[in-house]
Structure 1
Amino acid sequence: MQNNLIGFFQEQESLPYFFDHFNNKEKLRQLFLSLSSSLIKEYYIFSKYEQKTLCKYTFKEIFEYKINSLKAISYIKPFIKKDSFIFCLHSTLIINNYINKEMKKQIYASSKLLPMAKVIATCFINNKLQLFFDKNLLFHEYVLNKIRKMHKNSKVVDNGDSICIFKQDAVPLKIYTSWKKIDPKNLKIEDDINTAINSIKQSEFKQVYLVYPKLENFNRHIQIKVDELEDKSYEIKVVPYSLRSIIRNIQG
């Protein structure tokens, strides 16, 4: 399970292996910031500009910057004095705990500070900066969002372990996602193929795609033939899915 986690604990970073165009730590940090922002955007979002500029720093430094940038008074954003604000006790407790329990000057949160408290609540645990996500979940959500944009006129259902696409007058499609390093000459995905077979046998889905991150040597669909399904109309494909748009969209 540990190998499936991407994120950081203080100065220690857990990054995936280099793959495709993600061939250095900076690009892998961009990947994490983009995927995690999309997953929990109600708690924080790193803009394209932030992803591009902050990836040179460690995750700890990146999230410290993000928190400080959301303060009411900072050197990053201009301060506009207000005569009144709405007091938020929960945000105040979170922010004060992050800054320092012993400090004499307390920060009282208004609704404008709620984003700061949300970021802290997400990544400041047991008085340590840390944040981890399962890479399979991040990849699943990325593929799901792309599919929803591509198939706006179709019914797209997220089942957690799979994604289903229902098109009018078309065979329904089931997609299983997994962040694995695929070798086209030696797939080693027997469990995933068995999952696809069982889905074809036990449900209405006769078209199943197994989707994995695209690699330089894994860039084409692979058709899977199964002897026990010879008498059935079915299609199982191993499909490479590119993540390159993440770094392509923030270059330049």
Structure 2
Amino acid sequence: MNKIGFNKNIESLPSFDKFQSIVNQRVMFLKFFNQEVSCKLKFSKEEFKACRKQSLFNIFIKKIYSHLLYTDNSTNSFKLDIEKSIKINKFLKKTNKENDFKFKNFSFSNKNRVDINIAVSLIDILEESGCSLYLDGNKIFKNFVSNKIIKNNESKKIDVNSDSIDIVSEENSFRTKIFTFWEFINSKSLQIDEHIQKAISCINSSDFKQIYLVYPKNENFDKHIRIRTEGITCSEYEIKLIPYSLRSTLR
């Protein structure tokens, strides 16, 4: 499952490790969404609570509504330009027909402030694929891993490339290249010949002699695995399969 997300109220989310429940799966998705968007579009801890009872589609719609409507006690008002007003009204009519949830005067928090630009941006994201939103598993997993590595290795030089994460220690010339894969592998039945070949090619053609192939940690892959293989021209090298935990998304 390379794409994870939802099409209206139909959710396509992976079940593994601590993400067996739909609640945890939704939380993980929203955390991934947060890492891909600007601060204004991120979901708050308060909004995450909706994962217990609402679909991702409804959670996004609630967030849109929360930036359009005040509570009953509010006397504030705002003006919409014509283009945004048309876009919002079309979306509201569409979602009213597709959902039976009541959104009148809804607010996630009393601290919310109306910001129609946020609402419009979220509408654009959902309407790009017809009221659906799917994230690229390979992209979000690589971003998740690279963010963690950068945070935990401040003394080392980290280069995030299009298909890898490179770590170079300033204390010596030790170089590590990390390839990430959004695949739920089974340590007892590895089918990753293409990934191993990628590691071999990298070792033979570059200064990187330590290669980590990183996958999501799951119940069938929870320990490091060292790989010894033929076809490598140097004597000192390391290829290791790394299970990377996503449990921190639940904190």
Q: TM-score, normalised by structure 1?
A: 0.82
1:99 maps to 2:97: no
The CA deviation string for residues 82-134 of structure 1, in whole angstroms up to 9 with x for no partner, is 6x87x656544532332349xxxxxxxxx9321111111111236x4211111
Is the 8 Å Cα contact of residues 37 and 45 (structure 1) preserved in structure 2?
yes
What SS does the corresponding residue of 1:183 show, helix, strand or coil?
coil
Aligned pairs, number: 232
2:133 matched residue in structure 1: 131
The answer for unaligned runs of 5 or more in structure 1 is 102-110
Which aligned pairs between 1:121-200 and structure 2 lie closer than 5 A?
Answer: 121-125=124-128, 128-168=130-170, 169-200=172-203
Answer with 36-45 or 171-180: which moved more: 36-45
Mapped partners of 1:170, 1:206: distance in 2 = 11
Is the 8 Å Cα contact of residues 72 and 79 (structure 1) preserved in structure 2?
no
Is the 8 Å Cα contact of residues 50 and 59 (structure 2) preserved in structure 1?
no
2:45 matched residue in structure 1: 48
2:243 matched residue in structure 1: 240
Answer with 206-215 or 147-156: which moved more: 147-156
Mapped partners of 2:150, 2:228: distance in 1 = 29
1:106 matched residue in structure 2: none
Mapped partners of 1:66, 1:138: distance in 2 = 22
Change (3 A) 1:43 1:134: farther
Is the 8 Å Cα contact of residues 9 and 131 (structure 1) preserved in structure 2?
yes
Amino acid at match of 2:34: S
The CA deviation string for residues 175-194 of structure 1, in whole angstroms up to 9 with x for no partner, is 11111122112211110010
Change (3 A) 1:114 1:79: farther
What SS does the corresponding residue of 2:90 show, helix, strand or coil?
helix
What SS does the corresponding residue of 1:237 show, helix, strand or coil?
strand
What SS does the corresponding residue of 1:229 show, helix, strand or coil?
coil
2:17 matched residue in structure 1: 20
1:228 maps to 2:231: yes
What SS does the corresponding residue of 1:144 show, helix, strand or coil?
helix
